[in-house]
Structure 1
Amino acid sequence: MFIRFHGKAISPFTNQPYGIFAVIYFLKRDGKLSSLDLQLYETTVNWFEEHLPNPPYYDDLNNSIRAVTWFKDNESTRHMINNLQPFFDLAEKYSVEIIKSVANKPPGTIVYEDALQIGVTAFAYPAQS
Protein backbone atom coordinates (compact mmCIF):
# COMPACT_ATOMS: atom_id res chain seq x y z
CA MET A 1 0.00 0.00 0.00
CA PHE A 2 1.10 3.59 -0.69
CA ILE A 3 0.13 6.80 1.10
CA ARG A 4 0.30 10.44 0.06
CA PHE A 5 -0.65 13.50 2.08
CA HIS A 6 -1.61 16.50 -0.02
CA GLY A 7 -3.77 19.57 -0.27
CA LYS A 8 -6.65 20.31 -2.62
CA ALA A 9 -4.83 22.76 -4.88
CA ILE A 10 -3.48 21.26 -8.09
CA SER A 11 0.06 21.99 -9.20
CA PRO A 12 -0.03 23.34 -12.75
CA PHE A 13 3.31 21.63 -13.27
CA THR A 14 2.49 18.05 -12.24
CA ASN A 15 -1.29 18.31 -12.65
CA GLN A 16 -1.53 16.61 -9.24
CA PRO A 17 -2.34 18.04 -5.81
CA TYR A 18 0.52 19.75 -4.03
CA GLY A 19 2.05 17.44 -1.41
CA ILE A 20 2.09 18.26 2.29
CA PHE A 21 5.64 19.63 2.18
CA ALA A 22 4.66 22.16 -0.50
CA VAL A 23 1.35 23.02 1.18
CA ILE A 24 3.04 23.89 4.47
CA TYR A 25 5.92 25.64 2.66
CA PHE A 26 3.33 27.94 1.04
CA LEU A 27 2.22 29.03 4.52
CA LYS A 28 5.83 29.95 5.25
CA ARG A 29 6.40 31.60 1.86
CA ASP A 30 3.27 33.70 2.24
CA GLY A 31 4.34 34.93 5.69
CA LYS A 32 1.40 33.33 7.47
CA LEU A 33 3.37 31.43 10.12
CA SER A 34 3.98 33.00 13.51
CA SER A 35 7.61 33.12 14.64
CA LEU A 36 7.03 30.09 16.88
CA ASP A 37 5.35 28.20 14.02
CA LEU A 38 8.16 29.17 11.69
CA GLN A 39 10.63 27.56 14.10
CA LEU A 40 8.45 24.43 14.19
CA TYR A 41 8.38 24.41 10.39
CA GLU A 42 12.18 24.71 10.15
CA THR A 43 12.77 22.00 12.76
CA THR A 44 10.42 19.62 10.94
CA VAL A 45 11.90 20.31 7.51
CA ASN A 46 15.42 19.85 8.85
CA TRP A 47 14.48 16.52 10.41
CA PHE A 48 13.06 15.26 7.10
CA GLU A 49 16.05 16.54 5.13
CA GLU A 50 18.25 14.47 7.42
CA HIS A 51 16.12 11.29 7.51
CA LEU A 52 14.14 11.05 4.24
CA PRO A 53 16.08 10.45 1.01
CA ASN A 54 15.61 13.15 -1.62
CA PRO A 55 14.65 11.58 -4.96
CA PRO A 56 17.03 12.74 -7.71
CA TYR A 57 14.24 14.30 -9.76
CA TYR A 58 13.80 16.87 -6.97
CA ASP A 59 17.45 17.85 -7.43
CA ASP A 60 16.56 18.66 -11.04
CA LEU A 61 15.31 22.23 -10.56
CA ASN A 62 12.62 21.60 -13.11
CA ASN A 63 11.58 18.10 -11.96
CA SER A 64 11.43 17.54 -15.71
CA ILE A 65 9.73 14.16 -15.31
CA ARG A 66 6.95 15.76 -13.22
CA ALA A 67 7.03 13.01 -10.61
CA VAL A 68 5.50 13.03 -7.14
CA THR A 69 6.32 10.87 -4.14
CA TRP A 70 4.21 8.47 -2.11
CA PHE A 71 5.17 6.86 1.17
CA LYS A 72 5.32 3.10 1.32
CA ASP A 73 3.24 1.59 4.10
CA ASN A 74 5.79 -0.13 6.34
CA GLU A 75 7.17 0.13 9.87
CA SER A 76 9.89 2.63 8.92
CA THR A 77 7.42 4.81 7.10
CA ARG A 78 5.05 4.90 10.05
CA HIS A 79 7.88 6.60 11.96
CA MET A 80 8.16 9.14 9.11
CA ILE A 81 4.43 9.78 9.12
CA ASN A 82 4.47 10.26 12.90
CA ASN A 83 7.12 12.93 12.37
CA LEU A 84 4.76 14.77 10.02
CA GLN A 85 2.53 15.58 13.00
CA PRO A 86 3.84 19.18 13.29
CA PHE A 87 2.76 19.77 9.69
CA PHE A 88 -0.68 18.28 10.36
CA ASP A 89 -0.93 20.59 13.39
CA LEU A 90 0.12 23.64 11.36
CA ALA A 91 -2.37 22.79 8.63
CA GLU A 92 -5.16 22.54 11.20
CA LYS A 93 -4.12 25.74 12.95
CA TYR A 94 -4.12 27.68 9.66
CA SER A 95 -7.28 25.99 8.30
CA VAL A 96 -5.54 24.17 5.47
CA GLU A 97 -7.04 20.81 4.55
CA ILE A 98 -4.62 17.91 4.24
CA ILE A 99 -5.98 14.89 2.41
CA LYS A 100 -4.68 11.35 2.81
CA SER A 101 -4.78 9.34 -0.41
CA VAL A 102 -4.17 5.59 -0.32
CA ALA A 103 -3.32 3.26 -3.19
CA ASN A 104 -3.13 -0.53 -2.96
CA LYS A 105 -0.79 -0.73 -5.94
CA PRO A 106 1.69 1.81 -7.32
CA PRO A 107 -0.43 4.78 -8.43
CA GLY A 108 1.61 5.31 -11.60
CA THR A 109 4.84 4.46 -13.32
CA ILE A 110 7.58 4.08 -10.71
CA VAL A 111 10.57 6.25 -11.58
CA TYR A 112 12.22 6.16 -8.15
CA GLU A 113 12.14 3.85 -5.16
CA ASP A 114 13.86 3.56 -1.79
CA ALA A 115 12.93 1.83 1.46
CA LEU A 116 10.47 4.56 2.44
CA GLN A 117 8.90 5.94 -0.72
CA ILE A 118 8.27 5.71 -4.41
CA GLY A 119 8.24 8.41 -7.04
CA VAL A 120 5.67 8.05 -9.80
CA THR A 121 4.59 9.63 -13.05
CA ALA A 122 1.56 9.08 -15.27
CA PHE A 123 -0.80 8.39 -12.39
CA ALA A 124 -4.40 8.80 -11.33
CA TYR A 125 -5.46 9.52 -7.77
CA PRO A 126 -7.14 6.67 -5.90
CA ALA A 127 -9.74 6.97 -3.17
CA GLN A 128 -9.05 9.39 -0.37
CA SER A 129 -9.55 8.75 3.31
Structure 2
Amino acid sequence: MYIRFHGNYSSPYTNQPYGIFVVIFHLQRDGKLSDEDSKLYDETVDWFEEHLPNPPYYDEGNTIRAVTWFKENNHSSIMIKKLTAFFNIARKYNVEIIKSVVHEPPGEIVYEDEYQIGVVMAT
Protein backbone atom coordinates (compact mmCIF):
# COMPACT_ATOMS: atom_id res chain seq x y z
CA MET A 1 0.00 0.00 0.00
CA TYR A 2 1.15 3.57 -0.74
CA ILE A 3 0.14 6.79 0.99
CA ARG A 4 0.35 10.37 -0.15
CA PHE A 5 -0.57 13.47 1.82
CA HIS A 6 -1.44 16.39 -0.41
CA GLY A 7 -3.40 19.57 -0.76
CA ASN A 8 -6.59 20.15 -2.70
CA TYR A 9 -4.90 22.11 -5.49
CA SER A 10 -2.66 20.81 -8.24
CA SER A 11 0.72 21.62 -9.67
CA PRO A 12 0.51 22.82 -13.25
CA TYR A 13 3.85 21.09 -13.76
CA THR A 14 2.92 17.54 -12.69
CA ASN A 15 -0.86 17.87 -13.04
CA GLN A 16 -1.05 16.18 -9.62
CA PRO A 17 -2.01 17.68 -6.26
CA TYR A 18 0.84 19.38 -4.48
CA GLY A 19 2.29 17.21 -1.72
CA ILE A 20 2.19 18.22 1.93
CA PHE A 21 5.76 19.51 1.89
CA VAL A 22 4.96 22.00 -0.87
CA VAL A 23 1.57 22.95 0.58
CA ILE A 24 3.15 23.94 3.91
CA PHE A 25 6.08 25.59 2.09
CA HIS A 26 3.55 27.76 0.22
CA LEU A 27 2.20 28.99 3.56
CA GLN A 28 5.69 29.94 4.68
CA ARG A 29 6.69 31.44 1.32
CA ASP A 30 3.57 33.59 1.31
CA GLY A 31 4.27 34.91 4.81
CA LYS A 32 1.18 33.33 6.34
CA LEU A 33 2.93 31.45 9.17
CA SER A 34 3.56 32.98 12.57
CA ASP A 35 7.21 33.22 13.60
CA GLU A 36 6.70 30.17 15.84
CA ASP A 37 5.11 28.12 13.05
CA SER A 38 7.75 29.22 10.57
CA LYS A 39 10.41 28.00 12.98
CA LEU A 40 8.55 24.69 13.38
CA TYR A 41 8.35 24.40 9.59
CA ASP A 42 12.12 24.96 9.27
CA GLU A 43 12.92 22.46 12.02
CA THR A 44 10.64 19.84 10.47
CA VAL A 45 12.11 20.31 7.00
CA ASP A 46 15.62 20.09 8.45
CA TRP A 47 14.70 16.81 10.16
CA PHE A 48 13.34 15.35 6.93
CA GLU A 49 16.37 16.49 4.96
CA GLU A 50 18.53 14.60 7.44
CA HIS A 51 16.43 11.43 7.68
CA LEU A 52 14.46 10.98 4.44
CA PRO A 53 16.39 10.31 1.22
CA ASN A 54 15.85 12.93 -1.44
CA PRO A 55 14.94 11.30 -4.76
CA PRO A 56 17.51 12.23 -7.40
CA TYR A 57 14.87 13.64 -9.73
CA TYR A 58 14.43 16.57 -7.31
CA ASP A 59 18.12 17.41 -7.56
CA GLU A 60 17.68 17.51 -11.34
CA GLY A 61 14.70 19.88 -11.21
CA ASN A 62 12.19 17.03 -11.47
CA THR A 63 12.20 17.18 -15.25
CA ILE A 64 10.42 13.81 -15.30
CA ARG A 65 7.49 15.30 -13.32
CA ALA A 66 7.47 12.56 -10.70
CA VAL A 67 5.43 12.56 -7.50
CA THR A 68 6.39 10.78 -4.32
CA TRP A 69 4.34 8.38 -2.20
CA PHE A 70 5.18 6.86 1.17
CA LYS A 71 5.25 3.09 1.42
CA GLU A 72 3.19 1.64 4.23
CA ASN A 73 5.78 -0.04 6.46
CA ASN A 74 7.53 0.37 9.80
CA HIS A 75 10.21 2.62 8.30
CA SER A 76 7.79 5.10 6.79
CA SER A 77 5.51 5.11 9.85
CA ILE A 78 8.27 7.09 11.60
CA MET A 79 8.21 9.60 8.75
CA ILE A 80 4.44 9.89 8.77
CA LYS A 81 4.43 10.44 12.53
CA LYS A 82 6.95 13.27 12.06
CA LEU A 83 4.50 14.91 9.63
CA THR A 84 2.27 15.67 12.63
CA ALA A 85 3.88 19.12 12.79
CA PHE A 86 2.72 19.83 9.24
CA PHE A 87 -0.76 18.40 9.89
CA ASN A 88 -1.06 20.74 12.88
CA ILE A 89 0.13 23.75 10.88
CA ALA A 90 -2.34 22.95 8.10
CA ARG A 91 -5.21 22.63 10.58
CA LYS A 92 -4.26 25.90 12.30
CA TYR A 93 -4.33 27.79 8.99
CA ASN A 94 -7.45 26.02 7.65
CA VAL A 95 -5.57 24.25 4.87
CA GLU A 96 -6.98 20.92 3.79
CA ILE A 97 -4.56 18.00 3.69
CA ILE A 98 -5.90 14.91 1.95
CA LYS A 99 -4.65 11.40 2.58
CA SER A 100 -4.71 9.28 -0.58
CA VAL A 101 -4.17 5.54 -0.31
CA VAL A 102 -3.61 3.11 -3.19
CA HIS A 103 -2.82 -0.59 -3.18
CA GLU A 104 -0.78 -0.60 -6.38
CA PRO A 105 1.77 1.96 -7.54
CA PRO A 106 -0.22 4.82 -9.12
CA GLY A 107 2.22 5.17 -12.01
CA GLU A 108 5.55 3.98 -13.32
CA ILE A 109 8.04 3.65 -10.46
CA VAL A 110 11.13 5.73 -11.25
CA TYR A 111 12.61 5.76 -7.75
CA GLU A 112 12.36 3.63 -4.63
CA ASP A 113 13.95 3.51 -1.20
CA GLU A 114 12.89 1.98 2.11
CA TYR A 115 10.42 4.81 2.81
CA GLN A 116 8.95 5.91 -0.48
CA ILE A 117 8.47 5.51 -4.18
CA GLY A 118 8.59 8.12 -6.91
CA VAL A 119 6.21 7.62 -9.79
CA VAL A 120 5.52 9.21 -13.12
CA MET A 121 1.85 9.28 -13.87
CA ALA A 122 0.52 8.35 -17.27
CA THR A 123 -0.43 11.39 -19.33
Q: Displacement of 1:123 after TM fit?
A: 4.8
State the match for 2:98 in structure 1: 99
Cα separation, 2, equivalents of 1:122 and 1:35: 37
Counterpart in the other structure of 2:21: 21
What SS is found at the alignment partner of 1:102? strand
Partner residue in 2 for 1:114 = 113
Large movers: runs of 4+ above 6 Å: none
- Which position in structure 2 is the counterpart of 1:49? 49
The SS at the match of 1:44 is: helix
CA RMSD for the aligned pairs? Answer: 1.0
Number of residue equivalences: 123
**2:79 counterpart residue number:** 80
Cross-structure match for 1:11: 11
TM-score (norm 2): 0.98
After TM superposition, give the deviation of residue 122 of structure 1 in Å: 1.8
Tell me the alpha carbon deviations over residues 46-79 of structure 1, each in whole angstroms, 9 at most, x when there is no partner.
Answer: 0000000000000012x11000000000001111
Structure 2 residue 70 is the aligned partner of structure 1 residue 67: no
Aligned to 1:32: 32
SS in structure 1 at match of 2:110: strand
> Partner residue of 1:127?
none
Unaligned runs of 5+ in 2: none
Whole-angstrom distance in 2 between the partners of 1:122 and 1:69: 11
- Amino acid of the residue matched to residue 35 of structure 1? D
How much identity, in percent, do the aligned residues show?
Answer: 65
